[in-house]
């Protein structure tokens, strides 16, 4: 039985530590054949510093006096390489009870030791990270929701010292109304069943002040899969929240101002346009060349101003106008837009390739405006020597649909991917491409009002692709205010 064992080195030693037997496991582990090692002292397996300290003799002495010795440490193979070994030496006595020798069993546990060291190092790094981070609250919660660990970041954010908070229920950080609704327990239940919970909301510090928090809760289990508790990570996003609210207020004020200004500018602009047209008709024969040029420039500027005012009013209506959303057929909407743009498409020699589009809930007028801007831009920013080709298609993402509008135009550099959706942003001069610089800002506002998002991909000379992500349905069939 001993000879056939492969996973353990099993050998008999004489009373003096001389090797008297050798199995297959010993040969595989230590590299010696039986005829190479039998008759030699077992200290041959030990590093020099252990031999100098008399460790092999000490092992036999303990085994002889206590009947058994067990240890872990470095041992040496025939080729000089080291391995981490678990060693058990048992005293072997004859029928008279006298010591006759020893049974020595060795296991190579180098891999296990490396795993343990790696785990220990990982735990130490994690502990160092948790204790050194001041911007995040790392909290360990038991299965009942009571705080079991507390880092300096938690003290910095929430105000409690470790001694004050350990053992208390984590609901102490929540507003009274949230506690009444059972929200802390809901968070743990979601984390337990789904493996993760994330939320943003108001939380309470020790002094009673509120802060806006981003909270992530994840469960952790033991080796058997049993739930042992939760890790809760909290970030204080109060300044970000206040900045966003300030930005929203500023945007609303700016949009209201733009709406009022646009309405007030319409009347004098109509007079400028009307008197300019009349002057151009009646006085054309008496005006010299320079005066005609001035008059033409004035009328062109009035036209651009009218387009800008119309875009401002459109932008304002998207922001303030609230109507129930209804099911709309995007494919029908796009076909109507293509029909409206038929003259421009024919003039450029281009074409629009349309693949099936779904029905979504929304505002049909605004959806028409959205696709008119996107398709119109694709026709406008075409390559001079190549007819424009615009392709529209959709991908179903479950509760959302992703509509892509792709063209073969001049494209733009990636650094402008965010800038292009801002108000009055232009990547090309007005002399090259006419426009107000508001088309994509209007698209973004429309999509966001519908609870979706719009992004772009492009490269200079490689065309542009706009990806519109829209929810298929809205709860209650209502839009959300911007």
Q: Which residues contact 15 (CB under 8 A, 6 or more apart)?
A: 99, 100, 101, 102
Is the per-residue pLDDT at 411 higher than 60?
A: yes
Q: pLDDT band for position 86 (50/70/90)? A: very high
Is the per-residue pLDDT at 476 higher than 50?
A: no
Q: Which residues contact 171 (CB under 8 A, 6 or more apart)?
A: 145, 179, 184, 185
Q: Does this model's pTM top 0.85?
A: no
CA diameter of the chain? 142
* CA-only gyration radius of the chain, Å: 39
Residue whose structure tokens are 């400028």: 272
The torsion angles phi and psi of 480, rounded to 5 degrees, stand at: -100, 140
Task: Give residue 429's pLDDT.
Answer: 45
Is the per-residue pLDDT at 436 higher than 70?
A: no
Is the per-residue pLDDT at 101 higher than 90?
A: yes
Task: Give residue 15's pLDDT.
Answer: 94
- Looking at residues 322-349, what average pLDDT do you find? 89
DSSP code at position 385: T
**Calpha distance 289→267 (Å, rounded):** 29
Q: Are 85 and 108 in contact (CB under 8 A)?
A: yes
**Calpha distance 258→313 (Å, rounded):** 8
Is the per-residue pLDDT at 449 higher than 60?
A: yes
pLDDT: which is higher, 148 or 251 = 148
Smallest CA-to-CA distance from 361 within 469, 473, 443 is with 473
Task: Give residue 90's pLDDT.
Answer: 95
Q: Are 207 and 159 in contact (CB under 8 A)?
A: yes
Is the per-residue pLDDT at 3 higher than 60?
A: no
- The domains located in the chain, with CATH, are 9-114 (3.30.450.20), 133-236 (3.30.450.20), 243-320 (1.10.287), 326-477 (3.30.565.10)
Calculate helix-pair angle for 289-320, 439-449, nearest 10 degrees: 10
Which two three-digit tokens encode residue 416?
């402008």
- Looking at residues 392-411, what average pLDDT do you find? 92
- Give the DSSP H or E segment for 393: strand 389-396
Residue whose structure tokens are 């009646």: 282
Residue 244 CB neighbours (<10 A)? 12
pLDDT: which is higher, 50 or 480 = 50
**Calpha distance 314→423 (Å, rounded):** 13
Q: 207-221, pLDDT tens digit by residue?
A: 999 999 999 999 989
- Order the strands of the 453-458 sheet from edge to edge: 351-354, 389-396, 400-407, 464-471, 453-458
Smallest CA-to-CA distance from 371 within 323, 409, 333, 345 is with 333
- Looking at residues 356-370, what average pLDDT do you find? 90
- Looking at residues 158-164, what average pLDDT do you find? 92
Listing DSSP states for 23-57 in one string gives: -HHHHHHH---HHHHTTSBGGGGS-HHHHHTTHHH
- Looking at residues 103-119, what average pLDDT do you find? 87
Q: Are 424 and 437 in contact (CB under 8 A)?
A: yes
DSSP code at position 76: E
Q: Is residue 467 helix, strand or coil?
A: strand
Q: Are 395 and 472 in contact (CB under 8 A)?
A: no
**Calpha distance 221→227 (Å, rounded):** 4
The torsion angles phi and psi of 162, rounded to 5 degrees, stand at: -60, -40
Q: Is residue 482 helix, strand or coil?
A: coil
Burial class, 88, CB count within 10 angstroms (exposed 0-12 / middle 13-18 / buried 19+): middle
């Amino acid at each position: 039985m001993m000879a056939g064992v492969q996973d353990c080195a099993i050998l008999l030693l004489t009373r003096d530590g001389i090797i008297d037997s050798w199995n297959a496991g010993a040969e595989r582990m230590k590299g010696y054949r039986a005829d190479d090692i039998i008759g030699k002292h077992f200290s041959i397996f030990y590093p020099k510093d252990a031999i100098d300290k008399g460790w092999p003799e000490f092992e036999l002495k303990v085994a002889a006096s206590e009947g058994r010795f067990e240890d872990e440490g470095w041992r040496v193979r025939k080729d000089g390489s080291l391995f981490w070994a678990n060693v058990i030496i048992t005293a072997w006595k004859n029928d008279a009870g006298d010591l006759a020798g020893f049974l020595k069993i060795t296991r190579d546990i180098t891999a296990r030791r490396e795993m343990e060291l790696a785990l220990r190092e990982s735990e130490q790094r994690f502990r160092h990270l948790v204790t050194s981070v001041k911007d995040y609250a790392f909290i360990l919660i038991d299965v009942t929701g009571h705080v079991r660990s507390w880092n300096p970041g938690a003290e910095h954010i929430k105000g409690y010292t470790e001694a004050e908070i350990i053992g208390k229920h984590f609901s102490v950080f929540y507003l009274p109304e949230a506690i009444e609704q059972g929200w802390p327990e809901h968070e743990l239940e979601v984390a337990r069943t789904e493996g993760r919970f994330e939320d943003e909301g108001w939380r309470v510090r020790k002094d009673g002040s509120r802060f806006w928090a981003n909270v992530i809760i994840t469960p952790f289990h033991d080796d058997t899969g049993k739930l042992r508790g939760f890790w809760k990570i909290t970030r204080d996003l109060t300044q970000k929240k206040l900045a966003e609210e300030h930005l929203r207020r500023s945007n609303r004020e700016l949009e209201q101002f733009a709406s009022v200004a646009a309405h007030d500018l319409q009347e004098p602009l109509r007079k400028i346009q009307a008197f300019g047209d009349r002057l151009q008709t009646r006085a054309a024969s008496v005006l010299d060349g320079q005066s005609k040029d001035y008059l033409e420039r004035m009328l062109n500027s009035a036209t651009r101003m009218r387009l800008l005012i119309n875009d401002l009013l459109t932008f304002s209506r998207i922001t303030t106008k609230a109507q129930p959303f209804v099911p709309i057929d995007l494919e029908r909407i796009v076909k109507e837009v293509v029909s409206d743009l038929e003259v421009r498409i024919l003039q450029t020699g281009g074409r629009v390739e349309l693949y099936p589009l779904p029905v979504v809930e929304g505002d049909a007028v605004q959806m028409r405006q959205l696709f008119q801007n996107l398709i119109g831009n694709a026709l406008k920013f075409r390559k001079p020597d190549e007819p424009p080709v615009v392709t529209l298609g959709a991908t179903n993402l479950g509760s959302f649909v992703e509509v892509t509008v792709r063209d073969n135009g001049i494209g733009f550099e990636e650094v402008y991917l965010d800038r292009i959706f801002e108000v009055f942003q232009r990547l090309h001069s007005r002399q090259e491409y006419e426009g107000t610089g508001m088309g994509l800002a209007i698209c973004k506002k429309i999509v966001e009002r519908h609870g979706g998002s719009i992004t772009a991909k492009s490269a200079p000379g490689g065309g542009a692709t706009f990806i519109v992500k829209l929810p298929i349905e809205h709860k209650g069939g209502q839009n959300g205010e911007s």
